[in-house]
Amino acid sequence: MQAPGRESAAWVGPGVLLVLATALISGVSTFVNGYAVAGTSSAAFVTVRNLAVAGLLAPIALVVLARNGRSLGKKDLGTLAVIGLVGGAVPFLLFFRGLQLATAAHGGLTASFVYRTLFVFASVFGIVALRERAHPRAAVAAALVLGGNLALLALVSPVWTTGSLYVLVATVLWAAEYTVSKRLLGHLGGTTVGLGRMGFGAAFLSAYLLLTGGWGSVAGFSRGEWTWVGISAALLAAFVLTWYPGLARVDLGVATTVLVLGFPISWALDVLVTGSPVGPLAALGAAAVAAGVLVALGARYLRAAWRAPLGGVPRFATD
188 and 76 Cβ atoms separated by less than 8 Å: yes
Q: How far apart are CA 45 and CA 226, in angstroms?
A: 9
Q: What is the pLDDT of residue 156?
A: 53
Geometric angle at alpha carbon 21, from 148 and 33, rounded to 5°: 75
Q: What is the pLDDT of residue 275?
A: 83
pLDDT at 154 exceeding the cut of 70: no
pLDDT at 24 exceeding the cut of 60: yes
Q: How far apart are CA 10 and CA 29, in angstroms?
A: 29
- Does an H or E element contain 90, and which? helix 90-104
pLDDT per residue as tens digits for the range 256-293: 999 999 888 888 898 888 887 777 888 898 899 999 99
Query: Could you tell me if residue 306 is inside a domain?
Result: yes
Whole-Å CA distances, 267 to 1, 45, 133, 262, 273: 36, 24, 32, 9, 10
Query: Could you tell me if residue 105 is inside a domain?
Result: yes
Q: For the residues 158-170, what does the mean pLDDT come to?
A: 85
Query: Could you tell me if residue 87 is inside a domain?
Result: yes
Q: How far apart are CA 97 and CA 94, in angstroms?
A: 5
Whole-Å CA distances, 183 to 80, 122, 125, 130: 11, 13, 12, 7
Query: Could you tell me if residue 46 is inside a domain?
Result: yes
Query: Could you tell me if residue 2 is inside a domain?
Result: no
Query: Could you tell me if residue 4 is inside a domain?
Result: no
Q: What is the pLDDT of residue 281?
A: 84
Query: Could you tell me if residue 3 is inside a domain?
Result: no
pLDDT per residue as tens digits for the range 174-189: 999 999 999 999 888 8
Within 13 A of 188's CA, how many CA atoms are on the CB side? 24
163 and 107 Cβ atoms separated by less than 8 Å: yes
Domain count, the chain: 1
Range of the domain at 309: 9-316
Query: Could you tell me if residue 129 is inside a domain?
Result: yes
